[in-house]
Amino acid sequence: MFPTQDVFTALGLVLVIEGLLYAVAVGSMREMIRQALEMPDNVLRMGGLVAVALGVLVVYLARL
């Protein structure tokens, strides 16, 4: 059975964290987006892959 409750909990936490960043640090988030637009695709892709790997590791360690 697919753990639907866990998926929605994780999605909710992501939205809370993202929302807090935009609500509390609007200027910093704008600057970060501006900088990301100037980065080459391969740098953004590698950063995304690193984030995915770290996320999988955190979930794995949390489930031990």
pLDDT tens digits, one per residue of 14-64: 999 999 999 999 999 999 999 999 999 999 999 999 999 999 999 899 888
Q: Alpha-carbon torsion 9, 14, 17, 23, what sign?
A: negative
pLDDT at position 44 is: 97
Name the residue range of residue 53's domain.
4-62
Q: Give the confidence band of 1 by pLDDT, cuts at 50, 70, 90.
A: low
Domain tally for the chain? Answer: 1
pTM of the prediction?
0.73
* pLDDT of res. 36: 96
